[in-house]
Structure 1
Amino acid sequence: MNVGTAHSEVNPNTRVMNSRGMWLSYILGIGLLHIILLSIPFVSVPVVWTLTNLIHNLCMYLLLHTVKGTPFETPDQGKARLLTHWEQMDYGVQFTASRKFLTITPIVLYILTSFYTKYDRVHFVVNTVSLLTVLIPKLPQLHGVRIFGINKY
């Protein structure tokens, strides 16, 4: 029994994306970011779409694939200490609804960005690199793998 805690999960990080309204909040957050960037004067629409995509993917990479451990004191004997948030999500089970949602979202944003930038070469390359940066760590084959020892400890 977890004394002094209000949740029943051993590690609350495992179920946070399954919380009620989380997906809608996530989409609304991306929309709000885009509207804020659109309100900046003298910035063109293609640049705003690229910035929206880059900021979203940077935040996703930092929060899901670099931050390790859990902000809560968990009774799991430190098992989550060396796992990223993506690896902890849904207890490590692959192809759950939350994982699919978080994989499809950057792809849809990439398609929208490519369309609104009219497939400009510079925007296309920048957005493609950004997309690959967040999609490759999500592959099931890379679960727990640290490429070149990056983020090992």
Structure 2
Amino acid sequence: MPNLYVKAVPPADLNRNTEWFMYPGVWTTYILFLFFSWLLVLSIFGSSPGMAWTIVNLAHFLVLAYSSTYIMSLTEVFRPVSLMLFSKELPFSGYGLMCSLFCLIVSEPTMRDLSIFQVTYHFFHWKKGTPFADDQGIYNGLTWWEQIDNGKQLTRNRKFLTVVPVVL
């Protein structure tokens, strides 16, 4: 007797919150975005390549949340940083430079309107669920990191997302 039913193979990821990361070219776009951010910082601040990577690294891991009364852009945050870094008065090591950048950003007088969060920690490891209602809540208890690749460990996507920040 012939088989009357067609066996359908489900797609690799049905979760709309994470399926975009499966598309071809996402890794390349991510790396190009980081590279062009570095070129932009290098050309705007006129800094050394190492200093530009430091600023891109800090901007990569920080997100600026704004209140309804005041919006602070990245240029307003990094203007005093760039003035301090290129004054040639204060030599910094790598770790000391990052601490000094953070202290300078925190000491801004408009800090009451500015909240700084780590993007990767907040969105990958803290915020749970999806912004879509059609999944009927099956991902409500999972973070984005737990949702990618259907929860499988040591996949190419997870390795990529681990290696890029380490290299950066």
TM-score by length of 1: 0.56
Percent pairwise identity = 43
Contact 2:139 2:147 (C-alpha < 8 Å) held by counterparts: yes
Give the SS at the match of 1:81: coil
Q: Residues 10 and 74 of structure 1 are in contact (CA less than 8 Å); yes or no, is this contact kept in structure 2?
A: no
Task: Choose which of 144, 147, 153 in structure 2 pairs with 1:85.
Answer: 144
Counterpart residue number, 1:101: 160
Deviation at 1:34, TM superposition (A): 0.9
- List runs of 5+ in structure 2 lacking aligned partners: 1-10, 63-118
TM-score scaled by length of structure 2: 0.52
Check whether the contact 1:11–1:74 (CA below 8 A) recurs between aligned residues.
no
- Report the structure, 1 or 2, having the larger helix content: 1
Give the Å deviation of 1:103.
Answer: 0.7
TM-aligned CA distance change 1:68 to 1:95, over 3 Å: same
Give the CA RMSD over aligned residues. Answer: 2.4
- Are positions 1:63 and 2:123 aligned together? yes
Give 1:36's aligned residue.
40
Are the aligned partners of 1:67 and 1:84 in contact in 2 as well (CA < 8 Å)?
Answer: yes
Task: Count the aligned residue pairs.
Answer: 102
For residues 1-37 of structure 1, the C-alpha deviation after alignment (integer angstroms, 9 at most, x for no partner) is xxxxxx9954222432211111111111111211111
Equivalents in 1 of 2:127, 2:165: separation in Å?
A: 19
**What residue number does 2:87 align with?**
none
Aligned residue in 2 for 1:74: 134
Residues 1:87 and 1:26: Cα distance change in structure 2 (over 3 Å): same
2:13 touches 2:150 (CA, 8 Å); kept in 1? no
| 1:23 equivalenced with 2:27 (yes/no) | yes
Q: Distance in 1 between matches of 2:161 and 2:30?
A: 10
Higher strand share: 2
Deviation at 1:98, TM superposition (A): 0.4
Q: Helix, strand or coil for the counterpart of 2:45?
A: coil
